Amino acid sequence: MKREIKFSLVFRDMWQSAGKYVPRVDQLTRVAPAIVEMGCFARVETNGGGFEQVNLLFGENPNKAVREWTKPFHEAGIQTHMLDRALNGLRMSPVPADVRQLFYKVKKAQGTDITRTFCGLNDVRNIAPSIQYAKEAGMISQCSLCITHSPIHTVEYYTKMALELIELGADEICIKDMAGIGRPYSLGQIVANIKAKHPEIPIQYHSHAGPGFNVASILEVCNAGCDYIDVGMEPLSWGTGHADLLTVQAMLKDAGYKVPEINMEAYMKVRSMIQEFMDDFLGLYISPKNRLMNSLLIGPGLPGGMMGSLMADLEKNLESINKSNIKNNKPLMSQDQLLIKLFDEVAYVWPRVGYPPLVTPFSQYVKNLALMNVMQMEKGKARWSMIADDIWDMILGKAGRLPGPLAPEIIEKAKAEGREFFTGNPQDNYPDALDKYRKMMNEKQWETGEDDEELFEYAMHPAQYEAYRSGKAKVEFLADVALKKKAQQEKEHPTAPVAAAAALPTTPQVLTVDVDGQPYRVTVAFGDSANAAPVAAPEKAAQPAASAAPAPAAGAGNEILSPLEGKFFLVKNASETPLKVGDVVKEGDVLCYVEAMKTYNAVRSEFSGTITSINYAGGDTVSEDDVLMTIQ
């Protein structure tokens, strides 16, 4: 009998690699005892990544969710782990040092044992503070090597990085093969090299199934000395997700390893509940294509976690392109055609922006850049004509050191726009902010919460937290679910033949949603309508509306149009001052942002003058070409 291999269920990642959301807290606490009863998991991934933003979008308190969700595992002696994006904490953009430090104190108090920290650029400088914060909070610091395949990312590159992290105090190493494109033999060499120097350091392997390498990779890393394997389970294994528990257990048992037995009665119970959650609403956000494996993913190397949301979002991007095609009498594009164009553009963009490992947020940045290039070129505009500020920060070095050199065309564009490159410590660009958020909470008469957890949540996700506190998030989420269910019912039970390329409704659709017992009438508009945001009005006139009022009529002057579909924000963090009607702006000034594909896209003024109207409230949904503001 060979040594023991332990399993970790990546329950959070299972869902977010399949689609857009994770289960609600009531569903999580229902399934937890059955996962414990399976008896085969040493660890469970309970939170991290986009988990808390999803809670906020649901209108749920994420701190309550983490406390309730981790509790049953602790009582059973199962370790819980979370995903930490280093400089970016739990979000897509950099986080001040004091917020990062509070993050660890809060999560330890809430019941998280292990923090799996990664830097999307593999910049050890960004990971180092997280090691310190984890130790101060009494957590296990597991540091990740973000695996990708390029001329730069060699076995020697990853071995050197792992040894540096261990020297800095990392307790464990994670081989984070987020796209599943690590080649089995090379991954085995990396693990063997680490174990040769540090046999006492536990190694955990995380991979996605998409391109088809990961079962072979699991066997290779185990033969080289790996201690823990991340697994998924039906009906959310394989595809853009992870290797299935049953397959991995059978393979390793046959290879002579000591592996835990599985309580199959409990397994079927968990499997049934996962399907129940999908049937409830989560399946509305899971593309059937994400359940398939696809060797085309070897080329672009896009990670499973990103592919889950990509397929859900691609329909909106396709709609935008086809709206332009209709206006210009061009043939409509299919989703498969757009996907191939996107993959080809990723292959073009990636080396030119310095080979950042394709993991959150940089996988999204590369994908977004490629997708914006495709969309702009399809509309007759130039490549690189729309680059979000967060993507510029990556290019300029503000997020960390890029593994490879930038292409001359990118350097020339940066210089033409007067942008400066940065070579210092990335954390220096983001000053402490907790005092500012504490003051803002005091002014709003909001409690900072047990262990300052509400303060942390506000500082980490300010826009989403405000939408949660106002009730607007829950209204919009329930409206979206109702709309998707209605569309699904119409598709399954059509009353009349539907054309293959049926258009979205051209008139606003009125739905009724229930929020904590209060019915709200929600109007959801589409396409070129003046206001595409869900606008809620309570059934009872005496109750206040839970979301923004309809946009006012545009004022006189030049129109500022939305460059894409997303959510409207006047500012992206508390350090910015929102513009208001009557403010004077100059050509080139940043007016507002459209948050789309997990990045804030700055909208700059094409005119100098005075703002005569601002037509949306923060968090409102906007469509491409909607009039955001007018300037006289």
**Judgement on whether residues 300 and 379 belong to the same structural domain of the protein:** yes
Q: Which two tokens stand for residue 17?
A: 């690699």
**Judgement on whether residues 403 and 510 belong to the same structural domain of the protein:** no
Q: Which two tokens stand for residue 287?
A: 């593309």
The model carries a pTM of: 0.79
Query: Position 611: which residue type?
Result: I
**Judgement on whether residues 574 and 518 belong to the same structural domain of the protein:** no
E runs forming strands in 122-227: 140-146, 172-177, 203-207
**Judgement on whether residues 487 and 583 belong to the same structural domain of the protein:** no
Is the residue at 25 inside a domain? no
**Judgement on whether residues 524 and 591 belong to the same structural domain of the protein:** no
What whole-number distance in Å separates Cα of residue 395 and Cα of residue 88?
16
Is pLDDT above 90 for 327?
A: no
**Judgement on whether residues 539 and 565 belong to the same structural domain of the protein:** no
Least confident of 90-99, 262-271, 387-396, 541-550: 541-550
Average pLDDT rounded to a whole number, residues 384-399? 90
What is the chain's mean pLDDT, rounded?
86
Local confidence band at 550 (pLDDT 50, 70, 90 cut-offs): very low
3-state secondary structure of 489: helix
**Number of helices followed by number of strands (H, E) in the chain:** 20, 19
Local confidence band at 74 (pLDDT 50, 70, 90 cut-offs): very high
Is pLDDT above 50 for 575?
A: yes
Is the residue at 374 inside a domain? yes
**584-585 sheet: strands from edge to edge:** 558-561, 627-631, 609-614, 584-585
**Nearest C-alpha neighbor of 370 from the set 322, 312, 439, 301:** 301
**Judgement on whether residues 366 and 483 belong to the same structural domain of the protein:** no
Is the residue at 600 inside a domain? yes
Contact yes or no for 403/152 (Cβ under 8 A): yes
Is pLDDT above 90 for 567?
A: no
Q: Is the peptide bond before 23 cis (omega within 30 degrees of 0)?
A: no
pLDDT in tens, 25-34: 999 999 999 9
Element (H, E) at 537: strand 535-538
What whole-number distance in Å separates Cα of residue 397 and Cα of residue 394?
5
Contact yes or no for 375/325 (Cβ under 8 A): no
**Judgement on whether residues 542 and 602 belong to the same structural domain of the protein:** no
What are the C-alpha distances in Å from 114 to residues 143, 230, 385?
A: 10, 14, 42
DSSP strand pairing (609-614 vs 558-561): unpaired
Contact yes or no for 114/82 (Cβ under 8 A): yes
Q: Is the dihedral of CA 370, 371, 374, 380 positive or negative?
A: negative
Average pLDDT rounded to a whole number, residues 377-387? 86
Please give the residue range of the domain that contains residue 627: 558-631
Among candidate residues 426, 443, 462, the one where a domain is terminated: 426
Average pLDDT rounded to a whole number, residues 556-584? 86
**Judgement on whether residues 523 and 608 belong to the same structural domain of the protein:** no
Number of domains in the chain: 3
Q: Which two tokens stand for residue 284?
A: 């509305």
Instruction: Please report, rounded to a whole number, the percentage of residues in the chain having pLDDT higher than 70.
Output: 87
Is the residue at 350 inside a domain? yes
What whole-number distance in Å separates Cα of residue 586 and Cα of residue 157?
47
pLDDT in tens, 198-253: 999 999 999 999 899 999 999 999 999 999 999 999 999 999 899 999 999 999 99
Is the residue at 30 inside a domain? no
Is the residue at 415 inside a domain? yes
| CATH number where 601 lies | 2.40.50.100
- Buried b / exposed e over 461-475, threshold 16 CB at 10 Å, is bbbbbbbbbbbbbbb
**Judgement on whether residues 302 and 354 belong to the same structural domain of the protein:** yes
- Buried b / exposed e over 557-581, threshold 16 CB at 10 Å, is bebbebbbbbbbbbbbbeeeeebee
The full DSSP string for 432-479 is: --HHHHHHHHHHHT----GGGHHHHHHHHSHHHHHHHHHTHHHHHHHH
**Judgement on whether residues 411 and 314 belong to the same structural domain of the protein:** yes
How high is the pLDDT of residue 541? Answer: 35
Cβ contacts of 221 within 8 Å, gap of 6 or more: 175, 187, 188, 191, 203, 205, 229
Is the residue at 218 inside a domain? no
Local confidence band at 302 (pLDDT 50, 70, 90 cut-offs): low
**Nearest C-alpha neighbor of 120 from the set 305, 309, 279:** 305
**Treating both helix axes as pointing N-terminal to C-terminal, what angle do 184-197 and 155-167 enclose, rounded to 10 degrees?**
30
**Judgement on whether residues 338 and 389 belong to the same structural domain of the protein:** yes
What whole-number distance in Å separates Cα of residue 43 and Cα of residue 112?
11
Is the residue at 582 inside a domain? yes
- Buried b / exposed e over 243-268, threshold 16 CB at 10 Å, is bbbeebbebbeeeebebbebbeebbe
